[in-house]
Amino acid sequence: MDNEKNKMLAVFGGDAVHGGDVWGWSRVLGRPVREILDLSASLNPLGPPPGLTEAVQASTELVCHYPDRLCYDLRQALAAKLGLDAACLLPGNGSTALIRMITRVLDLQQIMLLAPAFGEFGRSLALAGRHFHYLIMRERNSFAPVEADLERVWEEQPSAVILCNPVSPTGQLVAPDVLDKLLAKAHRRRAWVVVDEAFIDFAPPEARAWALSRVQDYPHLVVLRSMTKFYCIAGLRLGYALAHADTLGDLAPMGQPWSVNTLAQAAGVYCLAQSEYEEQTRTQVSQWRAQQAASLAELGLMVLPSQANYMLCRLPLDGPTAPQVAESCALQGVLVRDASSFVGCEDHHLRVAVAAPADQPRLLAAIKQALSGR
């Protein structure tokens, strides 16, 4: 099986680059996907909104047609939800597809990528032949940039700055005043600022509102968001970009036609109307995150602060490394993320998604066994 998998990886471009591989481990373990606890992918532990299956099934009669290439209904629903003009919104086949488009289309020559960050940025920039380098943030600040880092950002005279908020992989939020100072200086220099807000829906209202009040005033600001994480619809792939209407007017024609399929568009419209589910998610995830963090700390892990649905942990330095712990857990049917692959992280950094209370004992038992070396 290993030889067969290696051959497939050689053809399709590498191992699972965004975390665990629940499908691959299902084959390795000989167990159905539903029996594997996948906490390597940071998805809503509540699962998709109730009623989503019926909403998606109702749209299957339309799959004989090409999707609406304008995503009209979805853009209108997003516009109403966010209080923005629909011209400032561009849906895509997950935020990853939008990253690929932006790195290919924007005329970026000298790019500063604040690390750690979502690995797709570095990968996409490299594929597009862009010159970029990393500026590593400090672990003591949960890898979030602080005001003291801003001088370092501009020392290289970048034409673009890319960062994640919440930070990946810690889940810590960047302070609004730091974002504003970064944006103001970028505006004076006519430099681009790209902010990955893939997990911002888990954050408090003031954090969610930051981009909404700025994209229409800063033409060189592009914000990326994902719906797959918060609404737990990763298999449907759905995200969107927020930017000035003129900016998106230049970007949109360069994207892939029909990039958002009909089922995903229907799911997006339905999800955006689930306000009760959204509030329940934020309340429950906050409570479950605190419970899980306390339990992980009891096992000897140092848990960094997070306001998202995942947390970064530092394993005890005298014990197994993150790759070893991740493999041990996977063999027990629990997937966690070896975070040593993030630029700026080390081999004792492990990321875990927030689990529902019923699943937390299984996670803790797997990590405890992994730490024991058995």
CATH number of the structural domain 52-272: 3.40.640.10
With 0-12 / 13-18 / 19 or more C-beta atoms within 10 angstroms meaning exposed / middle / buried, residue 38 is buried
Residue 179 C-alpha from the chain's centroid: 19
Q: What is the CA radius of gyration of the chain?
A: 20
| CATH 3.40.640.10 domain range(s) in the chain | 52-272
157-214 tens-digit pLDDT: 999 999 999 999 999 999 999 999 999 999 999 999 999 999 999 999 999 999 999 9
Type of residue found at 131: H
| CATH 3.90.1150.10 domain range(s) in the chain | 2-48+276-372
User: Which architecture characterizes domain 2-48+276-372 according to CATH?
Assistant: Alpha-Beta Complex (3.90)
Mean pLDDT of 152-161: 93
Q: Which of 353, 320, 326, 328 is nearest to 341 (CA)?
A: 326
Type of residue found at 161: V
290-308 tens-digit pLDDT: 999 999 999 999 999 999 9
Tokens coding 286: 């906050």
Q: How confident is the model at residue 14 (pLDDT cuts 50, 70, 90)?
A: very low
Asked if pLDDT for residue 90 goes beyond 80, the answer is yes
CA distance 349 to 321: 8
Question: How are beta strands 302-303 and 310-314 bridged, if at all?
Answer: antiparallel
Pick 271 or 13 by higher pLDDT. 271
Mean pLDDT of 312-340: 96
Q: 249 by DSSP, 3-state: which?
A: helix
